[in-house]
Amino acid sequence: MSSSSNKFALIGNPNIVRRDLRARITGERRFAADISAADIGASSLVYMGLVTSPYPSAKVKKIDVSKAEAAGFATLTGLEMPAYNYYNPGRPYVPLTSDTVIFAGQPVAAVASTDPNGVSDAMDLVKVEYEPQPFVFDPEEALASGAPQLWPGGNSPIGPAPMHTAFGDISAGFAQADEVVEQRFDTSIQQHFELEPTDCVAYWTNSKLYTWEKTSYAFGDQSGLASYFGLVLDDVVCRDALGGSANGAAGGIFGNSTGGDALIIAAAMSKKIGAPVKWVATRFENTQDTTSRFPVRGYLKFGGTKGGAFTAMQARLYYNMGARGGAIPDGVDDFYNTYAVPNVDIDTYITNTNSFGLAAYMRDVGESQCHFMMEAAVDMLAEKLGVSPTAFRLKNMRTKDNAVDPVAQTPYSELGQPDTFNAGVSAFNWSAKWQGWAKPSSVNGTKRRGVGLALENGNKGTAFPPSSGQIQVNPDGSVVVFSGHCDQGAGTHTTIPIMAAEAIGLTSLDNVTYMSADTSVNTDSSVTAGSQGTQNGGFAMVAAAADLARQWFPIVAANLAPGTKASNLAFGGGIGAGLSGLGGGSSNQPSGVIYDTTNPSNSMSFKAAAALLTQPLTGQGMGTPLINFGLTHRVVGTKLVEVEVDTETADVRVVNYVGALDLGRIIFSKGANSQSQGGFIGLGIGQALFEETVNDPTSGLNYSGRYLNPSFLDMKTPTIMQTPDTAVPVWVEGVDPSGPFGAKGIGELCLIAASPAVANALSNALGGYRFTSLPIRKEDVVAALQWMKDNGKL
């Protein structure tokens, strides 16, 4: 075996297939929605439905469940449930409201039926009287005096004053500028619309609560339920679907985990009726009762010099967190971490409105919203300055050479710029396609093409809170990997076994079993979200491998050449002698052996070493949160897009896409490839071109404020017809010295700059017309075409 570094057997191996895919596509693996009574050892299931408010703001005058009860259905109302502070400290919230409604779709009552067909019958029999109240959807109006108040303390979880982020001298920055652009931008409320609706089964039996849900954090569900019901942790068992050795499966989550309200309501219903309760959200409920991507409004003012220097960046941002959202100002930091601007001044207002229920994470948090406006405004400024979009970005982007976070004042762990930019521009063949500002890349009859690009730089994959896990080696050489990380499509059930197996020098995953999230089997894995499953899970695995070595190597040393010291032994391949797993160094010896670093021929095969064990040996590991390294962690990339607009029909098609991403070390190659193109196509094109949840803003109507499009029919997500002709992921493996094996996060990076890249390309195709709100609807394209005709550009 070569002695050169990084000869991994499993990490980055392009032949490794998704381990649980076969089971998921044959009807063998159970998603939470598939769980039957027999799967959980019960004789039957009771099916639950939620009665929800059609009004975004109302007083509940009366809830009458008597007819439903008389018909034999079980019911539950807020009068039977205490308030809790789970999401938003200081703002007690009742999972089922009995007095005040603050968003359309807020659950008011729950019903249950032994017959799944009976759920809708039961819902129809619950009569609720509402007194509609004034509501507010607009974040700026919500902060104005006289606005309808959602909460006693006002319409902001942090108070009316903005969060302020500033450095340099913003006035001096604008004084130096030759040109200034000022523009308002808006983004939409977007639904996760994952294919498997949010769902769970809850069973309260023998004073213990068991749940099986579609989740990204079973341990968070466990602590939330224990806290709400006043139980000790040991009396609550939560699983990722069937979890454990059965292995969970989640049909996409993208941030919309089932934890929280519905899980609490299902548990309370089960406690009340003494039977296992199953809840599968209807698509309508999935829009209304669960979380949404929150819209951000931004007033941006950017200034620069004729020489292409970015001198001033000012922003006033309004985060509309819906009725219940707290302060999640992610994305603000992207402005000054993406560009090395000397003078920055950003005010961020956090607001609550009646426009939707709970603002939360949706494959990135606020990053894609902030990037949309930032990267569109950067293009506007560069155009005004007469500098090309590539030259302006190259001159001003933050790179590894000026690598200190200007606010946190900590160095970056690793920053793959300008590497991703250069790699992306080259792979896209940008210089051949770019004809200049407002000049289409090609015109063929009614088909006009344009190109656009956008940088991305987000605070993702921070590996916090820390993760724990175990690796168990059995005497027969088989291995069990214990990690509570869930697989919602990211390939986690493959990625973590790869890292565990590589860490102990295995050459194959054939005899490796994965134990997925089950709080009665695993220890706290941390959350599988925020692009950190790989880092978090990986940290725990390399630590577990080190613990395994500490216990195992003395036994092995006693069976090697006389005088062999356990402290000199190492796993071949894998993480090698260092056993820290950080940065990605590997052993200079082949995988599958345990060897003496002072005399490599003094070695024993993994299997022979396992046979020395008289019982299973378990190594326990706890990951280290990246925050402990005193570094700023960023995920960075560059997206380049070519669009085609039919000037006759206003149809828009993304034709070519290149996503150049700094992914750190690639662990699961096929999965990384799928995610890096899929995040752009599945969520990014939708965010750019179609997706918005629309509320009826009309007041005075009976059903004013209702959602108008809570279905796949009315709120289209991208279909296979939107597949670009080419979608090329370009990986810059900038090995992160603080990541397990040098890995970084992927999940959100694949999406972040999708919408501005599309918007900038559309502008290029359509004579320089600027799109300033998401989504860019067909009517916006029609307006652009009309503007072009009015100005002699078409």
CB contact set of 323 (below 8 Å; sequence gap of 6+): 102, 103, 106, 150, 352, 353, 354, 355, 356, 357, 358
Whether cis (ω within 30° of 0) applies to the bond prior to 82 is no
**DSSP 8-state assignment for residue 683:** I
Q: Which is nearer to other proteins, 42 or 327 (CB)?
A: 42
Residue type, 479: V
Minimum CB separation of residue 110 from other proteins in Å reads 14
Is the backbone of residue 264 left (phi > 0), alpha (psi -120 to 50) or beta? alpha
**Residue 611 contacts residue 601 (beta carbons within 8 Å):** no
Measure Cα distances from 300 to 370, 378, 393, 543 in Å.
Answer: 10, 10, 18, 45
DSSP letter string, 610-671: HHT-SS-EEEEEE---GGGGT-B--EEEEEEEEEEEETTT--EEEEEEEEEEE-BS-SSHHH
Shortest reach from residue 528's CB to other proteins, in Å: 12
Instruction: Provide the minimum distance between the beta carbon of 717 and other proteins in the complex, in angstroms, as a whole number.
Output: 6
Give CA 130 to chain center in angstroms. 36
CA distance 296 to 187: 6
The least CB distance from residue 750 to other proteins, in Å, is 9
Name which of 197 and 576 has its Cβ closer to other proteins: 197
Choice between 597 and 722, CB closer to other proteins: 722
Residue 65: CA atoms inside 13 Å, Cβ hemisphere, count?
A: 19
Q: Which residue's CB is nearer to other proteins, number 132 or number 424?
A: 424
Mode of pairing for the β-strands spanning 599-605 and 593-596:
antiparallel
| Min separation Cβ 286 and other proteins, Å | 9
Q: Which is nearer to other proteins, 432 or 721 (CB)?
A: 721
CB of 193 to other proteins, least distance (A): 6
Q: Given the complex with other proteins, which of 568 and 674 has the nearer CB atom?
A: 674
Minimum CB separation from other proteins for residue 128, in Å? Answer: 17
Tell me the residue type at 589: Q
Instruction: Between 338 and 488, name the residue whose CB sits nearer to other proteins.
Output: 488
Q: Residue 212 or 606: which CB sits closer to other proteins?
A: 212
Rank residues 72 and 159 by Cβ distance to other proteins and give the closer one. 72
Report, in Å, the least distance between residue 117 CB and other proteins. 6
Instruction: Provide the minimum distance between the beta carbon of 65 and other proteins in the complex, in angstroms, as a whole number.
Output: 12
HSE (side-chain half, CA atoms, 13 Å) at 115: 8
- Neighbouring residues of 719: CB distance < 8 A, sequence distance ≥ 6: none
545 contacts 471 by C-beta, under 8 angstroms: yes
Output the smallest distance, CB 744 to other proteins, in A: 19
Full DSSP string of 290-336 = SEEEPPEEEEEEEEE-TT--EEEEEEEEEEE-TTT-----TTHHHHH
Tell me whether residue 71 or residue 558 sits nearer to other proteins (CB atom): 71
